[in-house]
């Protein structure tokens, strides 16, 4: 209640559902992503205690600007959900030259940038929550997931090290590792639908991921799988 929560990649999918669930719990939610029009509509739909902020996690200037704006408006961030991300499922031999780097820049370096933007404030208040949406792809890997899985392995390595580093500081760090979730993620990851067809029966809704995420926070879990 009354906490300031920032959710990256909140313009849809898992981030949208997590933001909505936090808002229902009484948090002030900052909806951050690149699609500002979508975010404004979403903020309007949620009503009071919701604010849209333009953020491209791949761009360090955009990250600095966004967190300055949040700091000016609220003076602090209590909870950061590093959720912004995308994947492209492709064979290593076929992937375009910049594919590995662009996924790493958003999924991994985006998480690092946003975390570093909120850490000084959390450390000085000795309180905070950092939630990193990684993936089951951070724990295992399948063909065509080399680039994407590497980014999520990186996010999990970062998350696990950070948790140890922050032990005793009052800041909690949790990883969320979903399996396949019914979102727009697969429009980019798997435009032909070959992967999606194979996992349809395993897919869960983003609302379910949001519920499990909040339950994990309530229980002080290190990971939600």
Cα–Cα distance for residue pair 197/151, rounded to 1 Å: 24
Least distance CB 17 / ligand NJP (angstroms): 8
Q: Which of 89, 148, 158, 186 is catalytic?
A: 148
**Is 213:21 a contact under the CB 8 Å cutoff?**
yes
Dihedral sign, CA of 82, 209, 43, 173? negative
The nearer residue to ligand NJP, 27 or 209, going by C-beta atoms, is 209
Choose one: 45-53, 93-101, 182-190, 211-219; the region binding ligand NJP (CB under 6 A): 182-190
Closest residue by Cα to residue 109 from 87, 131, 84, 90: 84
User: Does the active-site annotation cover 148?
Assistant: yes
Is 58 a binding residue for ligand NJP by CB under 6 A? The answer is yes
Nearer to ligand NJP, 40 or 169 (CB): 40
Residue 49 near residue 69, CB atoms below 8 Å: no
Nearer to ligand NJP among residue 18 and residue 171 (C-beta) = 18
Pairing of strands 79-82, 4-8: parallel
Residue 173, token pair as written in the block = 């760090």
Query: Rounded to whole angstroms, how far apart are CA atoms 65 and 60?
Result: 9
How far is 181 from 36, CA to CA, in rounded Å?
23
Taking CB under 6 A as the rule, which mask of x and - marks residues 85-124 in contact with ligand NJP? xxx------------------xx-----------------
Interface residues for ligand NJP in 123-152 (CB under 6 A)? 133, 135-137
The residues annotated with a catalytic role in the active site are 148
Binding positions for ligand NJP, rule: CB under 6 A: 8-15, 33-35, 55-58, 83-87, 106-107, 133, 135-137, 178, 180-181, 183-185, 206
């Amino acid at each position: 209640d009354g906490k300031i929560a920032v959710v990256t990649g909140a313009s849809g999918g898992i981030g949208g559902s997590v933001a909505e669930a936090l808002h229902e719990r009484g948090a002030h939610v900052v909806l951050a992503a690149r699609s500002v029009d979508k975010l404004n509509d979403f903020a309007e739909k949620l009503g009071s205690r919701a604010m849209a902020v333009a953020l491209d996690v791949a761009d360090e200037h955009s990250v600095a600007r966004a967190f300055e704006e949040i700091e000016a408006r609220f003076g602090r961030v209590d909870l950061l959900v590093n959720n912004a991300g995308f994947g492209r499922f492709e064979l290593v031999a076929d992937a375009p030259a910049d594919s590995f780097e662009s996924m790493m820049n958003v999924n991994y370096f985006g998480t690092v940038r946003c975390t570093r933007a909120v850490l000084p404030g959390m450390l000085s208040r000795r309180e905070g929550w950092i939630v990193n949406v990684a993936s089951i792809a951070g724990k295992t890997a399948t063909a065509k997931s080399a680039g994407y899985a590497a980014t999520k392995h990186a996010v999990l390595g970062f998350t696990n090290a950070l948790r140890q580093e922050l032990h005793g500081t009052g800041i909690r760090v949790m990883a969320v590792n979903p399996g396949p979730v019914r979102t727009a993620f697969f429009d980019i990851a798997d435009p032909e639908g070959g992967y999606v067809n194979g996992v349809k029966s395993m897919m869960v809704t983003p609302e379910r991921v949001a519920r499990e995420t909040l339950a994990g926070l309530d229980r002080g879990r290190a990971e939600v799988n």
